Amino acid sequence: MIFAEVSPEANEVLLEELKQPSDAKWYRRIKIIHLSSQQMPVPQLATFFDCCTATVREYIQRYNTHGLAGLKRQSSHGAPTKIPLTKSEWENLLHQSPSQFERLHTGARNWTQTLVVEYLHQYHDITVTQPAVSLCLKQHNIAWNRGKLKVTSPDPLYTVKRKRIDTFKKKAEQGTLTSHDVPDADLSQPARPAKLSFFDSTDLHWCPDVGHSYVPQGTQMRVNSPGLANPWYALFGSLEYPSGEGLYTIHERKRHQEVRAHLQMLLDSEPDTFRIVVLDSASAHTTPKLDAFLTQHHDRLALVFQPTYSPHCNLIERLWRLMRGQMTHNQFYNSLKELAEAVVEWLEKLPLSQFCSLMGIDETQLVFVE
């Protein structure tokens, strides 16, 4: 047990300080030392003054080492500046294109926080976080704006559908998801183990997407584009939960024929597996032209529709957002085919840990069964 070491002379000084308190916090520190010198234990002092035991011990140690001077507040000038660039240097950097810096290995024409962090590391040997970059730019009055996200759904069955998807996810994690868990399941048939997938499609336009980037205030952002020509592909994906495995196909259209072809490939990948597929209510997903296909495979496939205007309920939307941020935002490819090939290569090389992070899964808890 630690106690304050107070000599008779020092005790007189403490008593004088207690008679003339100039600050409540200073009075509390002096009183802690005075009571500690009378053998009051640390836990009792912490309870009496409503503070943690570590704080009490720190006060006692500082007094025993430096006396009353050690109890005074330590002045601080703040952390040293980690990013030494001046405002003019920042503006000069942001007027240039990231693609001009060979060490960044990027074709991006405009700056993002990630690229700025990488630039500082590669060219100035400075390791900082994105919030540190944002704060430094703010201090130099260099504007950076971010769009606000707002999700609302007019679906009267929003709560029911959301809880249903959450139940599917929980059972998929536990390995107890079966064909009987889907709405309108045929309970007369034996329950079959099921796998949960999140299905959606996104467009790959030759004309680049304009994403968040740093530009000097009052300067227009420039992105190369193919001009009036803007051919596109449709990227279809089925992301399996919680394994992170997925099936991705590229098509020239987004009709029910392409949806059916993708779902057929998903069924063919594991013929003995029952598939529960969560998807939105796009016209190509709800058209009666899919009824015959769904009836033919009702014993192997069930479509479960998420609430309307609720992309946050579909986990694959997070994958599309990450893909656009890294592959299509502010980047122009020589051809649409080159863009598609780059996206496919990116999907193939994306680590499992990234898929787990997108789905909110702890990678260390996954068990792989051969």
More confident residue, 77 or 48: 48
Residues 100 and 33 both lie in one domain: no
79 inside domain: no
Asked if residue 135 belongs to a domain, the reply is: yes
What tens digit of pLDDT does each residue of 283-327 get? 999 999 999 999 999 999 999 999 988 888 999 999 999 999 999
Do the beta carbons of residue 86 and residue 44 sit within 8 Å? Answer: no
Quick one: 252 and 327 in the same domain?
A: yes
pLDDT digits (tens, 9 = 90+) for 149-158: 455 577 888 8
- Pick the closest to residue 246 from 369, 127, 363, 354 (CA basis): 354
Identify the CA nearest to 275 among candidates 369, 181, 140, 186. Answer: 181
Does residue 105 sit in the same domain as residue 26?
A: no
Q: Is residue 249 one of the residues assigned to a domain?
A: yes
Whole-angstrom Cα distance, residue 315 to residue 222?
32
Sheet holding 301-305, edge to edge: 246-251, 232-241, 194-205, 274-279, 301-305
Q: Is the pLDDT of residue 147 over 50?
A: no
Task: Over range 67-88, report the average pLDDT.
Answer: 72
Strand boundaries in the chain, DSSP class E: 194-205, 232-241, 246-251, 274-279, 301-305
The span from the CA of 128 to the CA of 32, in Å, is 40
Q: What counts of helices (H) and strands (E) characterise the chain? A: 15, 5
The backbone torsions φ and ψ at residue 43, rounded to the nearest 5 degrees and listed phi first, read -55, -40
User: Domain for residue 290, yes or no?
Assistant: yes
Q: Is residue 144 part of a domain?
A: no
- Does 166 share its domain with 66? no
Q: Using CA atoms, how far apart are residues 21 and 191, in angstroms rounded to an integer?
A: 76
Query: Residue 77: inside a domain, yes or no?
Result: no
Angle between helices 24-37 and 8-19 (to 10 degrees): 150
Amino acid at 369: V
* pLDDT value, residue 105: 86
Does the N-terminal peptide bond of residue 242 adopt cis geometry, omega within 30 degrees of 0?
A: yes
In this structure, the answer to whether residues 217 and 295 fall within a common structural domain is yes
Quote the percentage of the chain above a pLDDT of 70: 92
On average, the pLDDT of the chain sits at 86
Q: In sequence order, what DSSP letters do the residues of 110-123 get, joined into one string?
A: SB-HHHHHHHHHHH
Secondary structure percentages of the chain, helix, strand, coil, to 5: 45, 10, 40
Answer yes or no: do 36 and 93 share one domain: no
The domain total for the chain is 3
Give the pLDDT score at 77.
Answer: 52
pLDDT at 184 over 70: yes
Residue 205 lies in a domain: yes
pTM (whole model) above 0.95: no
If asked whether residues 122 and 186 sit together in one domain, one would say no
Q: Please report, for the domain that includes residue 203, its CATH number.
A: 3.30.420.10
pLDDT digits (tens, 9 = 90+) for 329-365: 988 999 999 999 999 999 999 888 888 888 887 766 6
Do 331 and 207 share a structural domain?
yes
Q: How far apart are CA 283 and CA 125, in angstroms?
A: 52
Same domain, 208 and 123: no
pLDDT of residue 168: 96
Same domain, yes or no, for 21 and 96? no
Q: How confident is the model at residue 366 (pLDDT cuts 50, 70, 90)?
A: low
Which residues, 6 or more positions from 363, have their beta carbon under 8 angstroms from its beta carbon? 352, 353, 356
Domain with 329, as residue range(s), is 158-365
Q: For the segment 8-24, what is each residue's pLDDT rounded down to a tens digit? A: 888 888 888 877 766 77
- Examine the domain organization and report whether 298 and 163 are in the same domain: yes
234 and 323 housed in the same domain: yes
- Flag whether 235 is in a domain: yes
Distance (Å, whole) CA 96 – CA 104? 13
